[in-house]
Chain A
Amino acid sequence: MSDSIIASMDMIHEKGSSLWQDAWIKLSKNYLALLGLAVLVLLVVISLLTPWIAPYSYSAQNLDIGATAPSLQHWLGTDVFGRDMLTRIMYGGRVSLMVGFVATGVALVIGIVWGAVAGFYGGRIDALMMRIVDILYALPFMIFIVLLMVVFGRNILLLFLAIGAVEWLTMARIVRGQVMSLRHQEFVEAANSLGLSQWTIIRRHIIPNTLGPVIVYTTLTIPSVMLLEAFLSFLGLGIQPPESSWGLLISYGVETMEEYPWLLVFPGIALSLTLFALNFLGDGLRDALDPRTSKD
């Protein structure tokens, strides 16, 4: 998997690095997007290192102190069980980010394959596949996810699948549009005449060329997925204790916000900040990768 990604990255550079260099130059002038990228990288690093750098252990309780306001020992205070909030937010962030990335990954794989196949074959196959997408679009998905979580119990794998299954539709449409416009270009015909199999052409030539819009849309899908997870966890239908996520921490914070407002405010800041970073980065990438904005 990772090999093919690296291979496709290399191909992009061989084909003409100018588009990507262009994009990078434009992106590096967009300070908000850069800030978003920096925050995101920082959050991912913190999440990866959490088990080693968290100030307290995840299960450590201190019922003697209970909920305390932020202090030198507990920078973000403690909850009603005396658990360190910074630690809880760090571990919660791991889950929130993981849901964001994994569910988006699910959506990405389904959407790209679906859209690429439909766009590449065109004709009746395309009509049928896009008709299915249209029908799925009309379904009230928010309600369906709630339903799925109720019916099958609240487990995290299902959450990935349910959210991923919702978010692939737009991706499929974007990729299909790209592929449609690509498949009659000379380099695809050249590959065809070289006798490459259709699947190889899709994999090696079509998909890498749709990367721009896909990257942009991915960056914008992650925050909406994280919101969905937080929404479900808030309602009690998402992540279940003892696991934790920002949505769950916020819902606990709401219960005691009158007495201990920091239990609501800090997880709220963590979630909003991440959504900010991702949205600014996504907007910046869109501007940078959209050839129509190159005239400015």
Chain B
Amino acid sequence: MFKFALGRLLQSIPVLLIVITITFFLVHSVPGGPFSADKAVPPEVIKALEAQYNLDQPVWQQYLSYLGDVVTGDLGPSFKYSGRTVNELIAAGLPATAELALYAMLIALSIGVSAGVLASIRPNTMQDYLPMTGAMIGICMPSFLLGPLLVLIFGIYLDWLPISGWGDIPGDKVLPSITLGTAYAAYIARLSRGGMLEVLSQDYIRTARAKGLSETMVIGKHALRGGLIPVVAFLGPAFAGLLGGSFVVETIFQIPGLGRFYVQAAFNRDYTLILGMTVFFSTLIILFNLLSDMLAIWLNPKLRHEIQGNH
């Protein structure tokens, strides 16, 4: 297991290198430098700025020095927010985004798993159709539509909850977390239903039932562990999706998090910030994919033995 993890970790290094390389050259291939502003800036000033950001060097040299910086964890200065580094900006935005993602994930897991398990216990009855139709609605209702609708209903018409901000007024974290979590609750419901149905038809479940175990024991102790493997394997990609979703949700609810920074950086053409955040996001996503894969393997004895057999 440890060897496997180490191997996967080593494999992700070339992937990260590719990400950094593609992003770097994409950003540097943009016509017009980052300082070609609307106002006419004296050429000396641009020269000085370019020297400050090493833009006067050949591209490959900039690339190598950037790589060197990234290895030491330094993502460089921001073009737009003078005096601030990309690291500082990421550190400023991360807490809100992490908290939002955590709540969304908790909502998604608790609602998704219970809906999926309920549906799988009595397939093709109302107990199956209702949650699964709900899940389909969740999937077909993108966050940028659900969020504003929730704001309209609960924030404006009913006036129950605040419609923007993060941690300023009590309750302002509710709507964003629900908005971000809903789609994943829906996916998780479908995955856990499918996984449970597959497991529930297997022999060891019949054995457990034949032993006279209560249905709660059969489901809770024997079926869940195998049935939820698809959900666990989905957590990695879901995390990547949550980051993307946070672009929208943080914009709608005006949350000062990473997603909003990224979108703003995109509009401001703050290339070093985009580059740095892309590297940061990619690292996170690769790590989370690794974690969720490991967890899925740990839960599945068959895969576990395969890996141990290989090494």
- Interface set of A (CB-CB < 8 Å, partner B): 135, 138-140, 142-144, 146-151, 223, 227, 230-231, 234-237, 247, 250-251, 253-254, 257-258, 261, 264-265, 268, 271-272, 275-276, 279-280
Contacts and interface: CB of A to CB of B under 8 A. Distances in A.
Given A147-B278, A237-B266, A276-B140, 8 more contacts: A147-B26, A151-B27, A231-B244, A231-B248, A247-B144, A275-B142, A276-B137, A279-B139
Contacts of A144: 22-23, 278
Nearest to B241: A142
A139 B281 contact: no
A250 B144 contact: yes
* List of 3 A-B pairs having minimum Cβ-Cβ separation, nearest first: A142-B244, A275-B140, A234-B144
B120 to A, nearest CB: 16
B262 interface: yes
Interface in B9-50: 12, 14-15, 18-19, 22-23, 26-27, 29-30
A264 B12 contact: no
B142 A227 contact: yes
Interface stretch (B97-105, B106-114, B282-290): B282-290
A236 B267 contact: yes
Contacts of A146: 247, 262-263, 266
Interface stretch (B62-70, B148-156, B174-182): B148-156
Contacts of B137: 272, 276
B291 interface: no
B243 interface: yes
A146 B27 CA distance: 12
Interface residues of B, number: 45
B124 to A, nearest CB: 10
Interface string B235-259: 0000011011001100110000000
Contacts of B247: 142, 146, 235
Nearest to A237: B266
Contacts of B5: none
A271 B145 CA distance: 9
B248 A272 contact: no
29 contacts: A135-B14, A138-B285, A139-B15, A139-B282, A140-B281, A142-B240, A143-B262, A144-B22, A146-B266, A147-B278, A149-B266, A150-B274, A151-B26, A151-B29, A227-B142, A230-B142, A235-B251, A235-B263, A250-B148, A254-B252, A257-B148, A257-B151, A265-B149, A271-B142, A272-B137, A272-B140, A276-B137, A276-B140, A279-B139
A217 to B, nearest CB: 16
Nearest to B157: A261
Interface of B: 12, 14-15, 18-19, 22-23, 26-27, 29-30, 136-137, 139-142, 144-145, 148-149, 151-152, 156, 240-241, 243-244, 247-248, 251-252, 262-263, 266-267, 269, 274, 277-278, 281-282, 285-286, 289
A247 B286 CA distance: 29
B15 A135 contact: yes
Contacts of B252: 254
A147 B247 CA distance: 13
A261 B152 CA distance: 8
A234 B248 contact: yes
A53 to B, nearest CB: 26
A137 to B, nearest CB: 9
A62 B149 CA distance: 27
Given A142-B243, A142-B244, A261-B152, A231 B274 contact: no
Contact of B148 (A135, A150, A227, A264): A264
Contacts of A253: 148
A268 B286 contact: no
A293 to B, nearest CB: 12
